[in-house]
Chain A
Amino acid sequence: MSASTPPSPTAAPAAGATASEIELPVIQAPAVPFVEIEALRSREFIPAAKEALTSMIQEQGQAKLIRPVFNWAGRNSLFPLHWGLACCAIEFAAAFGARWDAERFGVVPRSSPRQCDLLIVNGTVTWKVAHKLITLYEQMPEPKWVIAMGNCATGGGPFRTAYSVVPGVDKLVPVDVYIAGCPPRPEAMLDGILRLEDLIRTRKE
Chain B
Amino acid sequence: MEPGEWERTLRASLGEAVVAVEPFAGTRGRVRFRAGRALDVFRTVHGAGFTHLSMVGAIDWVDHREVFYVVWSDAAKEYAILSTDVPADQPRVASATSVWPSANWHEREAWEMVDIQFEGHPDLRHLLMPDGYAFHPLLRSFKLHEPEELEVKVRHV
Contact = CB atoms under 8 A, between A and B. Distances in A.
Contacts of A160: 147
Contact of A164 (B129, B146, B157): B129
Contacts of B150: 163
A163 B145 CA distance: 7
Given A163-B135, A163-B142, A127 B152 contact: yes
Give the residue among B130, B137, B154, B155 with the most A Cβ atoms within 10 A.
B154
A156 interface: yes
A161 interface: yes
Contacts of A130: 130, 152, 154
B114 to A, nearest CB: 13
Give the residue among B130, B135, B144 with the most A Cβ atoms within 10 A.
B130
Given A160-B147, A163-B137, A128 B157 contact: no
Nearest to B137: A163
Interface in A143-188: 156, 160-164, 167-168, 172
A168 B150 CA distance: 13
B102 to A, nearest CB: 22
Interface string B132-148: 01010100001011110
Contacts of A128: 128-130
Interface residues of A, number: 15
Nearest to B147: A167
Contacts of B147: 156, 160-161, 167-168
Contact of B157 (A131, A161, A163, A167): A131
B77 interface: no
Contacts of A167: 147
Given A163-B135, A163-B144, A164-B129, 20 more contacts: A127-B130, A127-B154, A128-B129, A128-B130, A130-B130, A130-B152, A130-B154, A131-B156, A134-B154, A135-B157, A156-B147, A160-B147, A161-B145, A161-B146, A162-B144, A163-B145, A163-B150, A164-B128, A164-B137, A172-B154
Interface of A: 127-128, 130-131, 134-135, 156, 160-164, 167-168, 172
